Amino acid sequence: AGGSAVLQLVTIQQNALGTWDLKEGPNLCSNSRQYKRYKINDLKWNPMQEHILASGSTDGSLALWFIDRARPDYTYAQVGRTINRMDWKADHSEILATCTQGEGISLWDMRDRSGARPSGTD
């Protein structure tokens, strides 16, 4: 489930269940208007770095979150292209694939920050 009232994130994996209570810690629903304008279509935990989460939105932004902070560390933009689905490369923690409306599949290397906007630079 999503929306502005999300208070918990739950992950389910084979033989494991993780829950983060966002009432008691960082909340991905920032009070900033920047992060409320668009719907998040997909969230994916990094398979090798469990404190990193990526989100894809209807405005085409791909955000890289470090879960101990309340806003994304970096945002990559594909303005006008809704990100419908995404997934990390299972054996490489820096590679993420996104599927967008009208553009197909894009591969992102999270080590390359040249196309990213760090948080707080609006």
Query: Could you read off the pLDDT of 82-116 as tens digits, one per residue?
Result: 889 999 998 888 888 888 877 788 888 888 877 66
* 69 inside domain: yes
Cβ pair 29, 40 in contact under 8 A: no
* 103 inside domain: yes
The predicted pLDDT at position 117 comes to 61
* 36 inside domain: yes
| Full residue range of the structural domain in which residue 75 is found | 8-118
* 53 inside domain: yes
The predicted pLDDT at position 21 comes to 47
Read off the CATH number of the domain in which 100 is found: 2.130.10.10
Q: Across the chain, where does the E strand assignment appear? A: 8-13, 16-21, 40-45, 52-57, 61-66, 74-77, 83-88, 95-100, 104-109, 116-118
* 1 inside domain: no
* 2 inside domain: no
For residue 9, how many C-alpha atoms fall within 13 Å in the half-sphere facing its CB?
A: 19
Number of domains into which the chain is organized: 1
- Res. 33: pLDDT tops 60: no
The closest alpha carbon to 63, from 50, 74, 51, 52, belongs to 74
* 50 inside domain: yes
Quick one: 28 exposed, middle or buried, by C-beta within 10 A (0-12, 13-18, 19+)?
A: buried
Higher pLDDT, 79 or 26: 79
Tokens of 16: 């494991």
The predicted pLDDT at position 64 comes to 86
* 61 inside domain: yes
